[in-house]
Amino acid sequence: MTTRCAADLLVRPGRRRVRQAMAFGALCSVIVLAACHAGAGSRDAAETVSAADSSSRTGSPVRLDASQLQQVRTEELSTHAPEDSIKATGAVGFNADRMARVLPPVSGQVRDLAVNVGDSVLKDSVLFVLSSREVAGAISDHRASHKDLELAEKTFAMTEDLFAHQAASRMALQQAENDVAKAKAKVLQAEEVLQVLGLDGHPEEDAARLMSRLPVRSPISGTVIERSVTSGQFVAPDNPPLVTIADLTNVWVQADVFERDLRHIAVGQRADVTTAAYPDEHFLAQVSHVGSVVDPQTRTAKVRILVANPHLRLKPGMFTSVSLSLPGAGSALTVPAKAVLVEDGKSFAYVQIGPQAFIRREIDTLASGADRLRVVHGLMPGDRVITDGVLLLRQLEADSPNQ
């Protein structure tokens, strides 16, 4: 018994050393595996950063020497509140909703032509007089219809009295009543013809005074912009318009807006219009229609802008600059317009990545103010971009053996 206990005492310390060695080995394995995982994670993160960085860059770095570096200027980008507007160009045109093209209501000869191109006219003022047989016939029919009605009414009254004294049959009374109804229908028909001709005020007075002469009046107040008739000329209803009148106190401006900016345009949106003739005068306006077709050549759509023109300073045909106000937005990143290079419909800027190294990066921009562009995608605050010397960078990049 004493011998076994002594042996056990000799064996147990050895077992403890074996167990300690095994535990130490396992701990080392855990540390090595953790280090491997950490190294793999670092490599993955590095690869992710590199991929993200390369995704925002287009082109190889361009390095400048000391003399070339003096030819360029850079600007560090920062956010600020921009002028929230889209710039466009357009032209003044007539408001088609305030135009009148005067056609002859009947065939006849033009007399007493009283207007010329450029004249201002008031609503219902006489433009010219039309001498026509059809007018004379309409007036005669109107007179005859009234006389027939008077006779029919007298006949009916007499027949009704005879019927009351049993001196006329019921059939005769009904016939007289029917004659009165027909006469009234003819009077209404004749009066409608005179209304079409513009003689619906006092037909009898007009007939006695004018006979076959029909005054053609202006349907609106405005300015005569076209006249295709001369005094003494014979005209018919199928002729082109004889006189065209436009109300110039309200005009349209047709502006060309780029396809990329259409999502910011809506009917009722405020606009500011200026012209070369009046550079210091601003005409308040609003969008009245957004075109549904994009020009395949210019990639622009027509936007119609309604402009008040009470003093007639805007003339149809004038070129205009239009500033379309955007809904209020917060601060935005902007870049000078001269810093942006456009190639194949894409925009680029050269970003500084080292003391003498620059790289071309694709960006998305939106007009903001007279000489700056709002950056939608591609740049971040703190980036330094080339503002002067963009063409030099482009030439060096083109000459680079990497291209």
Inter-CA distances, 377 with 39, 87, 162, 312, 403, Å = 33, 20, 99, 43, 25
The full length of the chain comes to 403
When pLDDT is averaged across residues 378-390 and rounded to a whole number, the result is 88
Flag whether 18 is in a domain: no
Q: Which of 325, 340, 356 is the last residue in one of the domains?
A: 325
When pLDDT is averaged across residues 105-118 and rounded to a whole number, the result is 89
Compare 275 and 5 and report the one with higher pLDDT.
275
- Asked if residue 35 has pLDDT above 50, the reply is no
Flag whether 30 is in a domain: no
| Per-residue confidence (pLDDT) for residue 230, from 0 to 100 | 92
Compare 33 and 363 and report the one with higher pLDDT.
363
198 and 74 assigned to the same domain: no
* Chain-centre distance for alpha carbon 218: 32
| Per-residue confidence (pLDDT) for residue 307, from 0 to 100 | 95
Tell me which residue range forms the domain holding 377: 62-83+330-399
Cα 105 from Cα 122, distance rounded (Å) = 20
* Per-residue pLDDT band at 224 (split at 50, 70, 90): very high
* Per-residue pLDDT band at 205 (split at 50, 70, 90): very low
The three-state secondary structure class of 371 is coil
Compare 238 and 247 and report the one with higher pLDDT.
247
- Asked if residue 161 has pLDDT above 80, the reply is yes
Flag whether 47 is in a domain: no
Provide the residue type at 208 as one letter: A
275 and 296 assigned to the same domain: yes
pLDDT tens digit string along 290-338? Answer: 999 999 999 999 999 999 998 999 999 999 999 887 765 555 788 888 8
203 and 141 assigned to the same domain: yes
Q: Are 95 and 228 in contact (CB under 8 A)?
A: no
Which stretch of 112-121, 128-137, 142-151, 365-374 has the lowest confidence by average pLDDT? 365-374
pLDDT tens digit string along 52-83? Answer: 343 344 668 888 888 888 888 888 887 654 45
Helix axes 170-196, 203-210, angle to 10 degrees: 60
Q: Are 228 and 241 in contact (CB under 8 A)?
A: yes
390 and 343 assigned to the same domain: yes
Flag whether 14 is in a domain: no
- Asked if residue 37 has pLDDT above 50, the reply is no
Tokens 């219902």 belong to which residue?
Answer: 124
| Per-residue confidence (pLDDT) for residue 208, from 0 to 100 | 43
| Per-residue confidence (pLDDT) for residue 403, from 0 to 100 | 52
- Asked if residue 28 has pLDDT above 60, the reply is no
- DSSP per residue, 157-226: HHHHHHHHTT-S-HHHHHHHHHHHHHHHHHHHHHHHHHHHTT--S-HHHHHHHHTTEEEEE-SS-EEEEE
Percent of the chain with pLDDT over 70: 76
DSSP 247: -
- DSSP per residue, 295-354: -TTT-EEEEEEEEE-TT--S-TT-EEEEEEEPPP---EEEEEGGG-EEETTEEEEEEE-S
| Per-residue confidence (pLDDT) for residue 96, from 0 to 100 | 93
Provide the residue type at 271 as one letter: A
* Chain-centre distance for alpha carbon 76: 35
Helices (H), 228-271: none
Flag whether 54 is in a domain: no
Flag whether 119 is in a domain: yes
Average pLDDT, the chain: 79
When pLDDT is averaged across residues 13-32 and rounded to a whole number, the result is 46
Q: Are 77 and 333 in contact (CB under 8 A)?
A: yes
Helix axes 203-210, 133-164, angle to 10 degrees: 140
377 and 388 assigned to the same domain: yes
* Per-residue pLDDT band at 115 (split at 50, 70, 90): very high
| Per-residue confidence (pLDDT) for residue 119, from 0 to 100 | 94
Name the token pair of 120. 């201002």
Flag whether 52 is in a domain: no
Q: Which of 275, 307, 325 is the last residue in one of the domains?
A: 325
177 and 308 assigned to the same domain: no
| Per-residue confidence (pLDDT) for residue 290, from 0 to 100 | 94
When pLDDT is averaged across residues 337-352 and rounded to a whole number, the result is 88
Flag whether 148 is in a domain: yes
Q: Which of 201, 227, 245 is the last residue in one of the domains?
A: 245
When pLDDT is averaged across residues 371-398 and rounded to a whole number, the result is 86
281 and 384 assigned to the same domain: no
Tokens 């396992």 belong to which residue?
Answer: 26
CATH number at residue 226: 2.40.50.100
Compare 321 and 203 and report the one with higher pLDDT.
321
351 and 395 assigned to the same domain: yes
Provide the residue type at 330 as one letter: G
| Per-residue confidence (pLDDT) for residue 4, from 0 to 100 | 43
203 and 222 assigned to the same domain: no
In the chain, count H helices and then E strands: 6, 23
- Asked if residue 154 has pLDDT above 70, the reply is yes
Number of domains into which the chain is organized: 4
**Strand order from edge to edge, sheet including 126-131:** 213-217, 126-131, 108-111, 234-235
| Per-residue confidence (pLDDT) for residue 138, from 0 to 100 | 74
| Per-residue confidence (pLDDT) for residue 226, from 0 to 100 | 94
**Number of Cβ within a 10 Å radius of residue 113:** 18
Provide the residue type at 279 as one letter: P
End-to-end CA distance of the chain: 91
CATH number at residue 379: 2.40.420.20
358 and 373 assigned to the same domain: yes
pLDDT tens digit string along 162-200? Answer: 888 888 888 988 898 898 898 888 888 877 777 777 666
| Per-residue confidence (pLDDT) for residue 334, from 0 to 100 | 82
Compare 31 and 68 and report the one with higher pLDDT.
68
Percent of the chain with pLDDT over 90: 27
Taken in order 91, 97, 102, 105, the sign of the CA dihedral is positive
Compare 339 and 370 and report the one with higher pLDDT.
339
Taken in order 209, 215, 220, 223, the sign of the CA dihedral is negative
137 and 207 assigned to the same domain: yes
What is the pTM for the complete model shown?
A: 0.52
| Per-residue confidence (pLDDT) for residue 30, from 0 to 100 | 40
139 and 201 assigned to the same domain: yes
